[in-house]
Amino acid sequence: MDPVLEFRSVSKRYEQEGGEDLVALREVSFSVPEGRAIAITGRSGSGKSTLLHLAAGIDVPTAGKVAILGRDLSRLDEGERTRVRRDSVGLVFQFFHLLSHLSVLDNVMLPAWIAGERDRDAEPRARELLARVGLGSRASSPVPKLSGGEMQRVAICRALLRKPRLLLADEPTGNLDDENGRRVMDILLRLGGEEGSALVYVTHSPDLASLADETWRLGSGVLDRP
Amino acid sequence: MIRVFLRGLAAHFRAGRTLLILSVLGVALGVASVLSVQILNGSALGAFEGGLRAVSGEADLTILGKVPTVPDAWVREAMSERGVAAAWPVVRTPVKLEGPGGVFLDLAGVDVLAPVWFPWDVPPGEVAAALGAPGWAAVSEKLARERGWAVGDVFDVSSGSRRVRLRVGLLVDFRKVSPLAGDRLVVLDIAQAQDALGLEGAVHQVDVKLSPGASRAEVGERLARRLGPAAQVLTPEQRRSQAAGLLSAFRLNLTALSLISLLVGAFLVHTTTQAALVRRRAELGLLRSLGTTRRQVLAILVAEVALLGVLGTLLGIPIGYWAAAANVEAVSATLSNLYLLEGIGSLGLEPWVLALAVAVGLGGAVAGALLPALELSRRDTRALLAPFSLHERVGKAAPRLAVAGCAILAGTGVWYAGLGRGWRPAGFVVALSLLIALPAMTPWLLRTLCGRLRARGFGLAYGVKALGVKLGTTSFAVAALGIAVAMLVGITVMVGSFRRTLEVWIDATIRADVYVTTESWRRARETAVLDPAVVSALLRLPGVRSADRLRRTRAFSGERRIALVGRDVGMPGGEGRFVLIEGDRADAIRRVAAGEAAMIGEPLARKAGLGVGDRLPLTAPGGNFEIPIAGVYLDYAEEHGSAVLDLSALESRFGLAGLTNVDLYLEPGASPERIMDSIRGRFPDAPLELLSNRRLREEILEIFDQTFAVTRLLQGMALLIAVAGITLTLLVLARERVSELALYRALGASRRRILRVFLGEGVGMAGLGILLGVPGGVALAMILIRLVNRAYFGWTIVPSWPVAALARQAAVLLAAAAAASLYPAIRASRTPATELRRDDL
């Protein structure tokens, strides 16, 4: 069976005007099987965000292969990569990125709308997810009324709505206090596990990294795996 | 500071090239709209004034009759008045140039031997020819070029049933005298002109030159006293202002419409400035934190916008001139057909019009940008460096703005009911309050309507819902569209209602089968008299059941110039010709036919405050008299008022012989075409104009449509600006919402889906503009019909609703909005997911 996410000798360089290319990733290889939670740590500028962008198909590698469920993203055009992301990947961001003009429920429903799913199919699932993160009663609330922790829980529900096989989280607790951060991380791991999604998350915190099945370290574009 | 301004300028304009182009276009179209109308207005008056100067030259005063012609003995009378150095007679009338094309010439008869300086010279060798050679005429070089005439060539003109052969004796460039003088002027010696027009012992005006030091006012007063009530003595300025008065309503309406386009353009500038300021808040915040004062920040912003205004003005001037040139024919026709004035020979771009263009371009741009610029210059440094919460603040202010809008409307309504009703421009004030209230209500309406929309799915409806979020940007575009749509709907309903009312009136009053007049009647009216022999033959034609004989002339009721019609009021079966809105028709017809009373048209009744039971003052050659008013009839032919007397009463009171029109009613089964052929056969050389009932109806409606041609151009310009506003707003939104769009892309939204969302936003803006503009337009139509029209024209217009035309316009607007959204939608759809920034969703 194909791994959910596979990097094979992936390098990413950014051209810089009037200077040497910036190498964000060097020959990175790994694979993440279904249900597995991976934490990636590293200092700022170590290439963590680049790795997540490549994993989500938002960006393409300069060399090497990135595959989701066996599909080589570098062979797909931009539209096909978008479809893969829409159907197989869930994203959680450090700054939540909820739309303030939509209600809590509508924010969770957004991926279903984008995918053209019918409300009657997606809404029960959205409500169920909100209930599972303790926000069942806040479905109609406007987003700006929520606390930071609540917002991130909504963002997790949004990421999970379409049952993605791969869940990517970029510093999901970076904008929360310790207590809320811990709680959100627990939810992310629990729900990801219950849904059977592979989870790759980036964090600065050794404590939160230790909650994952494995912790990998990224330094100067090189992935250090135990 | 200047260095900061200059160095930043190119970079800012490069960064927002499309925005810059659109806002320059907005200013340019606003300027063009105002400019084209002012050029046309100015040229219309210029044509009149040019003709006046070319004929009357250095005359200090002109004596005109309040009756069609004045005795040439007035020249002697004038000469004997103290302070008069010279007086000379003038004959002026439009004549029809024989041949195809329906060209009219302005024939002027002047005394070439008058001891005064004329604006053009008859060379000494030509004076004898001018006096003695039959038909000698001075014509403009341009006319001669157009017609292929050379000195010595002959051409025929007609005045009423008279046909006169003229000879090109001299080519004159009248425009050297007056740049806007018409090129249709033909000048004859006075005696030749009198002879040609059959004006024995009569002239149309007497020009007067004063002795040095004599006061124009005093001499004018003495001359008026000496010559009696049938004379009016005017200075050239008074004559110009009389012509301006004739055209005042027409000019004012066009000016008001053009200002709406400017207003819509200013909204566009506002949107652009706001977008630019939002983008540059950090830069401005940095400048402030480095010690730049608020005043300096404001100066930078205003200078940038002023530059935009200058660019818009530079582009708007040629567009405005082009728009005026494209409409000169229609306006010229309106001047000739409705106001009987000279057509526009050439367009004049006077310095003050250019100054006005600069003022409206710069003023519009600065006014559009002033609010956001002031606000930004006042904010403290920290606020400038922090994310901008413009939309949130507009959202919070929305209910207050809506209440203010309602209060403006209510306040204006109360003011109108109490004080404004009697003031002529009050209708424009009410219309202006509507145009202010509409934008004020827009944010609240937008937020409420979009907030209630159940947008399920990520497509068009989602886009519409999103409009209610970025109120700071979308409100202005929707408000601009709302105003443009209100203008479109208002004018369409008003013009549609007017046309429908006219059709009903035509059905009721245009009942004869064949209308006979002369070719020169269209412009000359009172001097276009039918040969009595032709008239008597017409009345005896086989197949003719009865005939309505008419003599139209111009008369004065007090100081008001009106059209006076003498006709066979008592003609059996002809009652339907008069649709009375006041008075009993049978009784009125009986009294008027007996010569005891007159009927007056609605515009005269409204403007002079006259009605049944009042007495109509009239000036006849014998002096002033009054006649009871027996009825008020609907009249859409004469904006300045008309009255009807029985033909015999007109003849006896005014001493007018001859008819200008004969309307023939045929026996049942008789063919109008056959009768017209028979008339043409009997009078092959007479310059007659014959119109069937159907053709006359068509012609009236053609003239009506021509009159509103400029209106359509102005509507189009306002709409074009508003549609450009959609593109501009969506571009602004695409820029403001980069992070949001990147999120959609990160969540898997394809480019096509984002394109659809943006198309939804564009079409949604148009839809909301329509939703806002339609009730606004209906209200505007009612204001135009009930207040403005009645105050300025005095017509009853029955509202009718051209639903099909409005639906067509809405469909066109939506399609235009979709097209206008395409480019920004494509740009938005190209936003990469990597643009997801940290905290600015």
Is B130 domain-assigned?
Answer: yes
- pLDDT value of residue B114: 72
pLDDT at B1: 56
Are B259 and B336 within one domain? yes
Question: What are the residues of chain B with a beta carbon less than 8 Å away from any beta carbon of chain A?
Answer: 456-458, 462, 465-466, 468-469, 739-740, 743-751, 753, 832-834, 836, 838-839, 841
Distance CA A173, CA A171 (A): 5
Please give the Cα distance from B629 to B617 (Å, whole number).
10
Which of B738, B747, B761 would you mutate first to test chain A, the one with the most A CBs within 10 A? Answer: B747
The pLDDT assigned to B811 comes to 92
The distance in angstroms from the start CA to the end CA of chain A is 24
Alpha helices in A32-140 (DSSP H): 48-56, 78-88, 104-115, 119-132
Is the ipTM higher than 0.90? The answer is no
**CA B353, chain centre distance (Å):** 17
Among A217, A219, A218, A215, CA closest to A38? A215
Among A58, A87, A113, the residue with its CB nearest the CB of B833 is: A58
B423 secondary structure, DSSP code: S
Could B746 and A87 be called an inter-chain contact, meaning their C-beta atoms sit closer than 8 Å?
A: no
Contact B748 A95 (CB under 8 A): no
Query: What mean pLDDT, rounded, does chain B reach?
Result: 85
- pLDDT for residue B703 is more than 90: no
Distance CA B816, CA B810 (A): 10
List of chain B residues whose C-beta atoms are within 8 Å of the C-beta of residue A91? 746-747
Rounded-to-integer distance, Cα B264 and Cα B31, Å:
11
* Three-class secondary structure of residue B637 per DSSP: coil
Helix B426-452 crosses helix B751-782 at what angle (to 10 degrees)?
A: 150
Query: Which burial class, exposed, middle or buried, applies to B41 when counting CB atoms under 10 A from its CB (0-12, 13-18, 19+)?
Result: buried
Partner residue facing A99 (CB), from B740, B753, B838? B740
Tell me the chain A residues in contact with residue B747 when contact means C-beta distances shorter than 8 Å: 85-86, 91, 110-111, 114, 158
B129 and B217, same domain (yes or no): yes
Question: What number is the average pLDDT over the span B393-402?
Answer: 85
- In chain A, which residue's Cα lies nearest the Cα of B754? A114
DSSP B601: E
CA pair distance B581, B433, nearest whole angstrom = 32
CB B516, CB B664: distance < 8 Å: yes
pLDDT greater than 70 at residue B610? yes
Pairing of strands B202-203, A222-224: unpaired
Cα gap B823→B257, rounded to integer Å: 30
Lowest mean pLDDT among A116-120, B120-124, B645-649: B120-124
- pLDDT at position B611 over 80: yes
User: Which residues have C-beta within 8 Å of that of residue B407, sequence separation ≥ 6?
Assistant: none
Provide the domain count of chain B. 3
E strand spans, B647-743: 661-666, 688-692
* Cross-chain CB nearest to B747 (options A59, A79, A114): A114
Q: Which residues contact B314 (CB under 8 A, 6 or more apart)?
A: none
Domain match, B271 and B183 both: no
pLDDT level of residue B6 (50, 70, 90 thresholds): low
Q: Which range of residues forms the domain containing residue B247? A: 1-49+241-386
User: How many angstroms separate the CA atoms of B89 and B738, rounded?
Assistant: 78
Chain B residues with CB under 8 Å of A100 CB are 469, 841
Return d(Cα A161, Cα B77) in angstroms, integer: 102
- Chain A contacts of B466, Cβ < 8 Å? 101
Domain end point (choices B669, B685, B701): B685
Place of tokens 């990224």: A218
With pLDDT > 70 as the criterion, what percentage of chain B qualifies? 91
Please write the tens of the pLDDT for every residue from B721-762: 878 888 888 888 887 788 889 999 999 999 998 998 889 888
Both B197 and B338 in one domain: the answer is no
Tell if the CB–CB gap between A115 and B841 is shorter than 8 Å: no
Q: Among partner residues B746, B749, B838, which is closest to A91 by beta-carbon distance?
A: B746
Q: Which residue has the higher pLDDT, B719 or B774?
A: B774
Tell me which chain B residues have a C-beta less than 8 angstroms from the C-beta of A79. Answer: 750-751
> Which DSSP category does B421 fall into?
G
Minimal Cβ distance to B841: which of A86, A99, A116: A99
Dump pLDDT digits (tens) for B540-593: 999 999 999 999 998 999 989 999 999 999 988 888 889 999 999 999 999 999
Q: Where are the beta strands (DSSP E) in B330-390?
A: none
- Rounded to a whole number of angstroms, the distance from the CA of A223 to the nearest CA of chain B is 22
Interface touch A97/B468, C-beta < 8 Å: no
CB atoms within 10 A of CB A225: 12
Helix (H) or strand (E) segment spanning residue B493: helix B471-509
What mean pLDDT do residues A76-85 have?
A: 90
pLDDT exceeding 90 applies to what percent of chain B? 40
- Kindly determine whether residue B834 and residue A59, on different chains, have CB atoms separated by under 8 Å: yes
Point out which residues pair with B156 in neighbouring strands.
B165
Q: What is the mean pLDDT of residues B277-295?
A: 71
Q: What is the pTM of this model?
A: 0.80
**3-state DSSP assignment of residue B338:** helix
Per-residue pLDDT tens over the stretch B523-540: 888 888 999 999 999 989
Partners of B456 on chain A (C-beta within 8 Å) are: 113, 119
N- to C-terminal Cα separation, chain B:
34
What is the spatial distance between Cα B305 and Cα B53, in angstroms, rounded to a whole number?
A: 43
pLDDT at B840 over 60: no
Average pLDDT over residues B621-627: 91
Half-sphere exposure of B499 (CA within 13 A, CB side): 18
Cross-chain CB nearest to B834 (options A53, A82, A115): A53
Same domain, B216 and B307: no
Domain annotation covers residue B478: no
The phi, psi pair for B503, rounded to 5°, reads -60, -45
Lowest mean pLDDT among B125-134, B359-368, B673-682, B811-820: B125-134
Residue B468 lies in a domain: no
Residue B9 has a pLDDT of 64
B383 pLDDT higher than 70: no
B836 pLDDT tier (thresholds 50, 70, 90) = confident
What are B480-498's pLDDT values in tens digits?
889 889 988 998 899 899 9
**Separation CA B638–CA B642 (nearest Å):** 6
Provide the pLDDT for residue B279: 66
Q: B294 with B309, same domain?
A: yes
**Residue A17, phi then psi, degrees to nearest 5:** -60, 125
- B509 touches B757 (CB < 8 A): no
Whether B253 and B336 map to the same domain: the answer is: yes
pLDDT surpasses 80 at A200: yes
Contact check, Cβ <8 Å, A85/B838: no
Interatomic CA distance for residues B412 and B429, integer angstroms: 8
* Least confident stretch, A96-105, B94-103, B111-120, B322-331: B111-120
The letter for the amino acid at B42 is G
User: Of B386, B413, B441, which closes a domain?
Assistant: B386
The rounded distance, in Å, linking the Cα atoms of A92 and A95 is 9
Chain B residues touching A116 at Cβ < 8 A: 457-458
Residue B404 CA to residue B446 CA, distance in Å, equals 16
The model's confidence at residue B387, banded by pLDDT at 50, 70 and 90, is very low
Nearest to B255 by CA among B778, B794, B799, B792: B792
Contact B360, B317 (CB under 8 A): no
* B515 within domain boundaries: no
- What is the DSSP-derived secondary structure letter of residue B344? P
Same domain, B95 and B211: yes
> Does position B118 have pLDDT exceeding 70, yes or no?
no
Question: Which of B370, B386, B402 is a domain's end point?
Answer: B386
Token output for B102: 């329906």
- For A117, nearest residue in chain B (alpha carbons): B457
CB contact under 8 A, A58 and B746: yes
Residue B324 located in a structural domain: yes
Residue of A nearest to B457 (CA): A113
Which residues does chain B have within 8 Å of residue A58's beta carbon, measured at their own beta carbons? 745-746, 832-834
From chain A, the residues in CB contact with B447 under 8 A are none
Q: Which of A106-115, B626-635, B792-801, B831-840 has the lowest mean pLDDT?
A: B831-840
CA-based nearest residue in chain B for residue A79: B750
B179 or B406: which carries more pLDDT confidence?
B406
Q: Give the pLDDT confidence of B215-250 residue by residue, as tens digits.
A: 999 999 999 999 998 999 999 888 888 877 777 777
Q: Which residues of A touch B760 (CB under 8 A)?
A: none
CB B437 within 8 A of CB B397: no
Residue B120 confidence (pLDDT) above 80: no
Residue in chain B lying closest to A101 (CA)? B469
Q: Contact, A40 vs A216, CB < 8 A? A: yes
The arithmetic mean of pLDDT across residues A129-145, rounded, is 91
Q: Are B230 and B256 contained in the same domain?
A: no
Residue B790 predicted with pLDDT over 90: no
Of B466, B743, B748, the CB nearest to A115: B748
The whole-angstrom distance between residue A128's C-alpha and the CA centroid of its chain comes to 20
Which chain A residue's Cα is nearest to B462?
A113
Same domain for B207 and B293, yes or no, is no
- Of residues B583 and B264, the one with the higher pLDDT is B583
Question: Do B259 and B185 belong to one domain?
Answer: no
Residue of B nearest to A159 (CA): B747
Would you call A99 and B743 a contact, using CB atoms and an 8 Å cutoff?
yes
B598 with B642, same domain: the answer is: yes
pLDDT (0 to 100) of residue B565: 95
Query: Quick one: angle between helices B294-339 and B2-15, nearest 10?
Result: 60
Q: Give mean pLDDT, residues A213-219.
A: 91
Query: So what's the pLDDT on residue B388?
Result: 47
Q: Name residues whose C-beta falls within 8 Å of residue B661's C-beta, 6 or more positions apart in sequence.
A: B515, B516, B517, B521, B530, B549, B550, B552
Instruction: Return the residue in A78, A97, A100, A167 with the most chain B beta carbons within 10 A, the one to mutate for interface testing.
Output: A97
Predicted confidence (pLDDT) at residue B440 exceeds the cutoff of 70: yes
What residues in B contact A95, CB-CB < 8 Å? 838-839, 841
Chain B residues closer than 8 Å to A52 by CB: none
Nearest-CA distance from B492 to chain A in Å?
Answer: 38
- For the residues A48-67, what does the mean pLDDT come to? 91
In a domain, B490, yes or no: no
* Shortest alpha-carbon distance between residue A71 and chain B (Å): 16
**What are the pLDDT digits (tens) for B266-277?**
776 677 666 666
